[in-house]
Chains A and B, each alone.
Chain A
Amino acid sequence: MIADYAEVIHDDRVHGSLYSDPEVFDHEMDRIFRRGWVFVGHESEVPQPGDWVTRLIGLEPVIMVRGTDRTVRVLSNRCAHRGTALCWREKGNSRVFQCNYHGWTFGLDGSLRGVPHKAGFERERAELGLDRPRAVELYRGFVFANISGDAGPLSDHLGAGGRELIDRLCDLSPTGNIRLDAGWIGHRIQSNWKMWPESDEDGYHVDFVHISMLRTTQSYYQDTIVGGEASNNSRAVDHGGGHSELDMRPGYKSQLSWLGVTREKVTEYCNAMVRRYGEARANRLLWEGPPHAFIFPNLFLAELNLARVEPLGVNLTVHYHTAVQFEGVDDQFNRRLLRQSEAALGPGSFIVADDAVTAERMQTAFAGAAVGRSSNGFGAAWIDLSRGQKRERVDEQGRRIGHVSDEVTNRAFWRRYRQMMRAK
């Protein structure tokens, strides 16, 4: 039992039982995933009226669906009668949702439309529509939900930093729009979910966890995140609100480094960018590329991929990813992004498979950590997050900035986490 989360989350260290204590997980499901904003999906996943996908917000099953009025809604995937799941596939298209238990039907807006054998139905239909998160908002097509409805506006949650990160990704599309229609690949990892916001934004591990990848392929990571302090000037950034970034822009040696090509290889794309943004801004966008950033608590802007972290239990997480697809580019361009995505993320990938094993090794080491929580002797199981704490600085916008290998990003996550977990 943790009386006050401040006791186990300090600025420079946190207690390992936060990864393995089932009670902490239950608190997270309420204080972070129910009372806070959570990424659900992208509107391009449901382009037509009736298109839906199933998701979890914390452990709450929901349906993200486009209505006949073209509005994207998030509805409970639990029949308002006795709770049967309405949709049990990953995605589909329906005119209505009909429950298979007693045949109640719900409109795409969640309203109860039909109840078989009406005479015995003694309530108003309006009372028994599908439940829904109290707040749903979109930002550039990204759909977020806050179940409790008391997390304030989405723009406050994202903050200027979070919005800028999403903008930097979407602005790389020559129409300003991205599509997430390449399918999601699920990677099942026997670790706590928090290993993922941590590892996805860890600029310290690449030399070690990914050494086999670095020895077999050439990539821009060599210029941006590999080799330690002397050899690169990328930055770890705390954007506030728990959102963090490994900013590799200062390390890029040429335009389009992040795509691994020169301009001649993607002329049409570059021309389309210039048409939309003008030469100067297009040049800057093509130089800077997409962010490598994490939007608290579950959205990873993984450069040209997108990942979402789905906690299933204190020891079990699914790291889903998909390739970003741009509007207004040729098929060949988008296919390049698909191939890069397969190489980087997922269970068979060259990169994240090694992170997965690392996360599982961490989880194994924390199995008994709750027992030692009140001790300071052997078994106390603290993890150290102090790296670069003294050399980080705060810029004009209030962002904390450090060397890419510093634990600025991890501290950013835990600071926000502590704040939410302390709210009773």
Chain B
Amino acid sequence: MSVDQPSPSAVIVADVTRREIEAFLYLEARLADESRYAEWEALVTDDMHYWVPKGAADYDPATRLSYINDNRARLATRIRQLRTGLRHAQTPPSPMRRIISNIEILEADDAAGRFVVASNFVLYEVAAQATNELRIWPGRVTHHLRRVEGRLRMSKKIVELVTSELPQPNMAFLL
């Protein structure tokens, strides 16, 4: 996290909007935790960008390597691959649960239905495919949300792992 840039401060939205946003984050987290790929994919917009940078998300992912840098088409491939049931890196799917907290709404345009939301998370994963160890994935997520036909969808999910400068074990599940 770069220190020379001012950290964006949270904006205040109506309670009902905040609850709607929180409900989206919790649903998205639960579907990812339970490897419900199709239902999870239904939450993304046609211009979805799913990005797990190496280090802080302060670079242009077009110019440097990332762990994951999926545009909508590549994300569709990722989910198709998982849904073959033959993706060894997720066979069986990892049992997972994540805790989301410190939810801050960084940008809100309620009229246009656009929000940028940051939160902290800790994900607990059992690497059930081979080693059966418990892996702990702490980090921060930034969601870009958009209301589409009255419902929130995500157009961007950036996952900044606390450990992201270090070598990572398999992350073949939905982070």
Contact = CB atoms under 8 A, between A and B. Distances in A.
A363 B88 CA distance: 16
Contacts of A217: 77, 81
A188 B167 contact: yes
Nearest to A316: B167
Interface stretch (B41-49, B58-66, B98-106): B58-66
A422 to B, nearest CB: 32
Contacts of A357: 88-89, 129-130, 170
Contact of B81 (A216, A331, A361): A216
A322 interface: yes
Contact of A350 (B54, B62, B77): B77
A338 B172 contact: no
A186 B170 contact: no
A358 B88 CA distance: 8
A190 interface: yes
A182 B81 contact: no
Contact of B171 (A213, A216, A348): A348
B21 interface: no
A338 B129 contact: no
Interface residues of B, number: 35
Q: Which of B88, B166, B172 has the most CB of A within 10 A?
A: B88
B172 A182 contact: no
A124 interface: no
Interface string A224-242: 0000000000000000000
Interface stretch (B1-9, B22-30, B67-75, B143-151): B67-75
Nearest to A182: B65
Contact of B167 (A209, A320, A342, A363): A320
A185 B67 contact: yes
Nearest to B89: A353
B36 interface: no
Given A185-B54, A338-B62, A357-B89, A347 B81 contact: no
A199 B51 CA distance: 28
A395 to B, nearest CB: 35
Contacts of B82: 212
A396 interface: no
B89 A187 contact: no
Contacts of B165: 90
Given A188-B168, A190-B130, A342-B68, 6 more contacts: A185-B67, A216-B81, A353-B172, A354-B172, A357-B129, A360-B129
| List of 9 A-B pairs having minimum Cβ-Cβ separation, nearest first | A186-B167, A360-B130, A353-B89, A188-B167, A348-B68, A212-B87, A212-B86, A212-B84, A216-B80
